[in-house]
Amino acid sequence: MDFFASQDKARGKTKILVFYYGLAMLMMMLIIYVVLAALLNIEATANPGRVKMERGYTGIQWFHLEILVMVVFGVSLVVSLSSFWKLRELSGGGDKVASMLGGRRISQNTTDRNERVVMNVVEEMALASGIPVPPVFVLDSEPGINAFAAGYSPADAVIGVNRGTIETLNRGELQGVIAHEFSHILNGDMKINIRLIGVLFGIQVLAIIGFYTFRFAGLGAGRRGGDNKAAIPIFVVGGVIMIVGFIGKICAGMIQAAISRQREYLADASAVQFTRDPSTIGGALKVIGAHASGTKLVTPDATQASHMFFAEGVVSNFNSMSTHPPLLDRIKRIDPTFSGQYSSYMKQRHKTSVKSRKRPSPPKDQKNPLDLLEKLPLPGIGGAGVGPMGEFAAGMPGAELAMNPVAMIAGIGMLGEDHVAHSQQLVEKIPASINTAVHDAFSGRCVVYAMLLDDDPVVHGKQLATIESVEGKPSVEETSRLVGIVNQMPQNQRLPCLEMVQGTLSQLSLEQYKRFGYCVFELVKADHKMDLFEFILQHLLLTHLDRRFGLRPATETRYKNMNQIKSHIELILSVLVYKGNEKKQEYVEAFQQAAQALGEGISWELTPRDRCNFQLLEQALTEANLASPAIKKQILHAAATAIAADGKITVDEAELFRAFAESIECPVPPIFATHNTD
């Protein structure tokens, strides 16, 4: 899977959606117009004199400009406004979709065994793939086996699972389902899924209008004592609109099928690739075939969202319009030897008890000296910026790792068994008290505060006073309790903590989050300077949470030419070469190699060191995030080339690269020693 190509394909699906949307509207307009014109012709035939007097013509006439304008304007207005209203309702991202479907958010510190298992699996997948840990919702009223991923980007994504899913599947099968949903997140499918909900609602709303128009005509006739002559036109119009609405539903089904069916095969294949075990996703599909409730959804809103579920949730009378491929076809693509005997599989499954598979640890010689690479959260608080910065100094000596830029870029958006095993090991090494704290909204904030406390007693005291004034004395006491443990943690444990705490902090109220963001900002600027970790924490953690709380809009592509953001790309690459090299000859050579990786046609210039500060870097990353996927790929390839110019990567360089990648919504999984330069 090519992450950047997948992003481009996802954007291309929007064009398909617009095409079908326009086609459906034209069909509905045409039908309504033809029926209305036919009614006028019937009237003209029955009363030629009156029609001539009122309209100035006799006989049959099919072109009526005023009727055409009325139909085009009316249908466009109703459908467009309905779609806009629905999309506006879902503008909050995945949380809104999950709530619409009746989902209940699982608490980060839940004690329910089944819920704990799914939370752990989602957490492992997120840490391993390099995206923020998404909240998980359970649909308690759904006994069938199904799941979904929803959101506009990884920053506001959620995972939803049916109650039947977490109660029926074992850990391995559950991992296959979650890997399938993570594929949709990484492939950029979620945004088109939400837009599709809005489009389908707009098209289908005509059926609702037709129903009530028809009903109104019937009630009116009843009140007139059975004299329904005057209600006939209303009956006809209501019936026509109902028929058009039905046609709209058929069109909606065609759109869902056109957008989603092939994509499900890709997500299944990606799940196999992610877990490297076909029995996970394959086993889940076989259990579905044997399960009494299958994948059926009972929520009334299931139809409009059926395309985003793991498997067919709404039974269709038109198989060709099913939103998902046939279950057996999906299984045979994963396991060609499967006979279709679900009951036999379940008997064998019961015998072998395919429970949670503990994955082997990587060989000792493959441990990543930059364990810290366990990704962080996504992005920072609405417009808070990064405060006054000093010069971006060269990196300190530290652990190093051979790296191949091509392999690193190829790994973006990918997830593998080794990444999952690595993330499991990192989480296991986190002190138990910290692991518990990051899953609690109150203590989670204090973990972040503890990471920002300065060693200087004066600054430290000032920071504690800030926490007390903003959050209160209990927060000071909890932060003071945790700071000693946090200070003992190596860098590789801090970053996973930041990733895990994101999901916890997204449970805060908006007012609580604003206080938290303000406090983080004040703690960072307390010593009037910023280091690399503070930049990463503020920029990534708060920007991600901003999006989760709706303080930043979903990212839309604005730049399709590198010339449009040339100065920003130069600044990003300059920061990297200065960070990794102290001697002029070294950083000039590294920048030249990075410039070559960008391709020919543009003359690139090294940004002076005194202009490479975090404040300008924040702006550069914000603009780079508005670039097309193809440009982002080139930027990251050049960035990887810059830090690998000397054949190795330091801990600080690795942190910075992942921070850059996440800032432009390109998830980088853990980097392992297997990424050699040969």
Of the residues 124, 181, 623, 662, which is catalytic? 181
* Eight-state DSSP code of residue 156: G
Tokens of 126: 């997120």
CA nearest to 627, candidates 600, 658, 598: 598
CB neighbour burial string for 607-629, b if at least 16 within 10 angstroms, e if fewer: bebeebbbebbbebbbbbbbbbb
CB neighbour burial string for 130-167, b if at least 16 within 10 angstroms, e if fewer: bbbbbbbbbbeebbbbbbbbbbbbbbbbbbbbbbbbbe
CB-based contacts of 181: which residues, under 8 Å, 6+ apart? Answer: 147, 148, 149, 159, 267, 310
Residue 297, H or E segment = none
Alpha helices (H) along 158-231? 163-168, 171-187, 189-223
CA nearest to 612, candidates 418, 292, 394, 435: 394
586 is catalytic: no
* Eight-state DSSP code of residue 335: -
Give dist(CA 504, CA 133) in Å, integer. Answer: 9
Give dist(CA 236, CA 36) in Å, integer. Answer: 9
Q: Determine the distance from the C-alpha atom of residue 381 to the mean position of all C-alpha atoms in its chain, rounded to a whole number.
A: 19
Residue 36, H or E segment = helix 3-46
CB neighbour burial string for 574-597, b if at least 16 within 10 angstroms, e if fewer: bbbbbbbbeeeeebeebbbbbbeb
Across the strands, what pairs with 105?
137
Q: Taking every pair of C-alpha atoms in the chain, what is the biggest distance, in angstroms?
A: 99
Burial class (CB in 10 A: 0-12, 13-18, 19+), 431: middle
Give dist(CA 403, CA 368) in Å, integer. Answer: 12
Residue in this structure with the two tokens 């939370």, named with its chain if needed: 119
Tokens of 187: 């492939």
Q: What are the catalytic residues?
A: 181
